[in-house]
Amino acid sequence: MKRILTILVACTALNACAPYIYQEDEFNRDRKGFGQEPTDRSTVDICYFTRNTAPQDILAMAEAECAKFGKTARYTHSEIGLCPLATPTLGHFNCVAR
């Protein structure tokens, strides 16, 4: 418990737990498209810490990513368990035509 509290305090104090776009198997060199920017996107998943990240910030990140492909973001759901402890919530968005 002390370790978890230390991580949470560090995240809050240093803003070290900034939200980011989650890519499954991001470091798997055998993954198709490893190291390449996507040419299209139908979904965006964002890892974040709910205590220091506003929902509108997550939506703005998803909107910006979908906009790169001429699309807009639509929230579908959130879950816990795929992202690291410092950013435990994963927000799922679909990128849909404008």
What's the pLDDT tens digit per position in 21-34? 998 888 889 988 88
Confidence check: pLDDT of 15 > 60: no
Residue pLDDT, tens place only, 34-56: 888 888 999 999 999 999 899 99
Q: What is the pTM of this model?
A: 0.79
Output Rg (C-alpha) for the chain, integer angstroms.
15
Q: Tell me the pLDDT of the chain averaged across its residues.
A: 87
Q: Is the dihedral of CA 47, 52, 56, 60 positive or negative?
A: negative
Give the whole-angstrom CA distance, residue 14 versus residue 57.
18
